[in-house]
Amino acid sequence: MRVEPTTLPGVLTVEPRVFADARGAFFESYVLERYAEAGIDVAFVQDNVSVSARDTLRGLHLQHPRGQAKLVQVLEGEVFDVAVDVRPDSPHFRKYTTATLSGENHRQLFIPGGFAHGFCVLSERAVLSYKCSAYYDPQSELGVRWDDPTIGIDWPVTSPLLSERDRSAPLLSDIDPARLPRHG
């Protein structure tokens, strides 16, 4: 397995070792000890699966105060995945990093707590799986508008399919900073 830092400290790309032959492929998508040695020393408590059609955009989502670290991977299809630092006291506040995750490249993205997460589907359909370090908590749920101009994500879709919740999410500047996570 190869773990690489991204432009945001703490956000990592993971490339598992894949064994492929004429029959298909095999890889270990998560091994606690190996991931901990690589710096992803998180106790995951919940796994989620999202199935989405082309041009679906989900995000930007996070939880606070019950923050969630996430280990995201695509089982089928391809997505443009995004992590945004939304901690007002962070030197990387409003900065983002992206990764193309697919069922073909088996790449994963580790997103620590304190970051908003979103993705858009590049293929006809995508099946995304992600591990979470905290249980879903509706009272801790926060959303940031996907096209917030102060973040400036260069999404590869101009007219995404959005939920009403994502369409009406606030700009980051409209969220009380006391409601956002802190750095460190």
Which residues are known catalytic residues?
A: 61, 130
Q: How far apart are CA 149 and CA 171, in angstroms?
A: 8
40 with 71: CB under 8 angstroms?
yes
Q: Tokens at residue 169, please?
A: 């999410």
CA-nearest of 66, 81, 80 to 114 is 66
Hey, which residues does 161 pair with through a beta bridge?
56
Output the CA–CA distances (angstroms, integers) from residue 145 to 59, 63, 91, 181, in the order listed: 7, 15, 21, 17
